[in-house]
Amino acid sequence: LMVGTAKSAKMGVLIKNGEVLEKVTDIDTVVFDKTGTITIGKPKVTDIVGDSKRVLTVATSLEESSEHPLATAIVKKAKEEKIAPVKVDNFAAIEGKGVKANFNDHTALVGSNKLFANSNISREIQDEAEQLQNEAKTVIYVGLDQQVIGLIAIQDVPKPSAKAAIAELKKRGLKTVMLTGDNKNVAQAIGKQVGIDQIIAGVLPTDKADNIKKLQKAGNKVAFVGDGINDAPALSTADVGIAMGAGTDIAIESGGIVLVQNDLMGVVKALDISKKTFNRIKLNLFWTLIYNLIGIPIAAGLFAGIGLQLSPELAGLAMAFSSVSVLTSSLLLNKAKIAGTSTQTA
């Protein structure tokens, strides 16, 4: 355990306890959050449909105090366009849908199309939204008094390491799943780019843990990789929670494994070193058992009648050799080959 956790720490993988090592050996499914985990987490506004100044003014006025990556992208774009936010009243966040507030005596709404479920959205707006989503862009609807006045398209690209990491997991026979609250079209486009096996889209933050439970009830042993506040329940529910080190404190606290670097190859490293460490523990226990099953009866004199016995000195030396062999076996973990590292010695 000491050697395995020390080696993993040098690779930027923090394993919190031995229980995690045991559970990792059974993992057959790895579930990823999308924003900030598979993607870089720094989305940018790419398109604005409608009166650009009006749409951005309403959106940035409602989103200026939010820490969500999409909100940050909108506020940044407004600053670039030198558009100042307007003070709003009765601000309210609607979980999984968006936000609303009083804006110049109007009810302003900014969020997904779910926020406008009771509104009539024009065919033109719907077509524009669908086209943008097919380009792997997240579409934010902006409205006043339930009337959609425009769209803001935001795009976040996959991390450079995402495709390679998922390919490595597949080589190990693991199923990969992406769990996201984003639109199905956007999720599928991102998933296709990185090679994800299964996509579960349109998931509310409160439902992430429930989806993990569904996978577990289907007989899967699940590792979940996430970075946000709303990922904490899923990280705790999964058999193994893997938190991105660049994520929120609550996500890091909820994960059994923490990736110091914001790199998805760390997931492969974490699973590999955990499995190799636990396998080394089992190997040590196996040979220790064999060694003692043979050595103790001889040292006790049970075979003295046939001339097979050990003096106390030799028995003590044999016991010392047993400890040295276990330590040597454990230290060989430092030479273990781990994907994504420079160590190549077997």
Q: Which residues are catalytic?
A: 33
Query: In the structure encoding, which two tokens stand for residue 338, read together?
Result: 């781990």
> CA–CA separation, 124 vs 270, rounded Å?
48
> Residue 238 burial (CB < 10 Å; 0-12/13-18/19+)?
buried
- Looking up tokens 């987490």 gives 41
DSSP string across 215-230: HHHTT--EEEEE-SGG
**Three-state secondary-structure class, residue 49:** strand
User: Position 331: which residue type?
Assistant: L
Q: Which helix (H) or strand (E) holds 257?
A: strand 257-259
> CA–CA separation, 262 vs 97, rounded Å?
28
